[in-house]
Amino acid sequence: MELEPVIPFEPIRSNSIPEGSVWIHQIKWDGVRVLTYYDGFKCRLFNRKLNERTNQYPELLDVKSYCHSDSVILDGEIIALGSDGKPSFHEVMRRDGSGGWNEWYKQKRKCKSLT
């Protein structure tokens, strides 16, 4: 069974905060939304625009290490912390927009060796 990517729901702006037990609220971490598709054999990652991000985040591909399910679709946000320990959209975009984790890691090491 191969899971096909779906377009996820998007948050909407509102002038008021909904109240009641049927509503939940989440912190906006300032990261990148990624959906993880795992069919029991293969894992693929996609952003909200359905662009594949599997190569950018290889550490998330071993789904069995963090989820005990035969197949699953996970919807979450990937964040990167800046040097101040706070979420940094700039840092996560450096990795997300790069040629993948290896390229990001090489650039990160290169930058550190110059300082």
- Residues noted as catalytic: 28
- Running DSSP on this structure, what letter comes out for residue 27? -
DSSP secondary structure letters along 36-56: EEE-SS-EEEEETT--B-TTT
Q: Read off the tokens for 16.
A: 């008021």
